[in-house]
Amino acid sequence: MFVGDLWWPPDEGFAIIPRPGNADVAVIDPATMILTRTVPLGRQPLVAVVVDRGFVVAPDWKTGDLLRADLR
């Protein structure tokens, strides 16, 4: 299965990769590119960002519905 676009902010110690086939985002360590955890979103994100102190937001690939999850 393919993955979505990498989101890698320069001032954070992590990056996220949306995984539509798994209905989640993978949180990775950008220095080592090792998976540190996953955060379920319940649908199919292709693009995701982290905003407002640790919340992941992403549109669902097929419906466009807003998906949200807390990284904390």
Tokens of 39: 């955060």
Q: Tell me which residue of 25, 22, 18 sits closest to 4, measured CA to CA.
A: 18
pLDDT in tens, the chain (72 residues): 789 999 998 777 899 999 999 999 999 998 999 999 999 999 999 999 999 778 999 999 999 999 999 988
- Does the pTM surpass 0.85? The reply is yes
